[in-house]
Copies of this chain bind each other. A is one copy, B any other.
Amino acid sequence: MYTTHIGSARPDSIDIYGYDLCSEVIGHAGLADLIFLGAQGRLPTENESKMLNALMVGIAEHGFTPSALAARLTWLGAPEAPQGAVAAGLLGAGSVYLGAMELTAKFLQEALSGAPGDQDRDTTAAAVLDAYEESGERVPGFGHPTHRPRDPRTARYFELAERWGFLGSHSLLLQAVHAGMERRRGKLITLNGAGAFGAVLADLGFDWRLVRSIVVAARAVGLVGHIAEESARGTADSMAQELFRHVEHHTDYQPRR
């Protein structure tokens, strides 16, 4: 026997995580609420739902990222299988661009679970900064090539988190880390939207290990718009051709050895 809590179906009703799909979910819950349900086993409260939706719409769409390009280029060759284009657009959701969200949630959850219960926030923040300085790694969630010195999403996420009651220990620790970092370096540093996203998601009760899957689901939603635009007035074909015209062929190949 394999155990699941996800759902079951009878001829005239469908159960989903213990809720009746037709009378308790359809018409009551929103799409993002199913992420809460899948990750935490219950439907969110009204405020939890509003907060989660706010976070999700902030990351679903990022314009012509490499991932969106990969989806559009894939659609070019297989428009009859758009599931492949969406999948291709998700596969780049790895460590480089989308790592910051889960890594921020991770270091915050680990710092808080590891710290003595009565330790004040600035001390915990200083310990985090010390540990990263010692390791030589960058603290996740900071810096942005465009949004400098402030990322407009960060303030918005925290504003809504405060309004709806989710500015909790993870967000406050991240803010303390931010303040400490600016003090140490003596300059303004961007606390980016990815970092704030990870912190508020942690304050909503999500384990950092699920953050990437959640981000991937948001991106799948954003890719619908790219496929819609590509199918209506495609640009990927001319992009690919333009790139191809600028490829220069060398024959003195020096491969990696």
Contacts and interface: CB of A to CB of B under 8 A. Distances in A.
A41 B255 contact: yes
Given A146-B10, A250-B4, A256-B210, A156 B94 contact: no
Size range of the chain A interface in the assembly? 35 or more
Contacts of A63: 4, 6-9, 244, 247
Interface of A: prevailing SS: helix
A77 B57 contact: no
B238 A2 contact: yes
A67 to B, nearest CB: 6
Contacts of A18: 251, 253
A227 B255 contact: no
Interface of A: 1-18, 21-23, 25-27, 29-35, 37-42, 50, 53-54, 56-58, 60-67, 69-70, 73-88, 90-98, 146-148, 150, 152-153, 155-157, 160, 205, 207, 209-210, 212-214, 216-218, 220-229, 231-233, 235-240, 242-244, 246-257
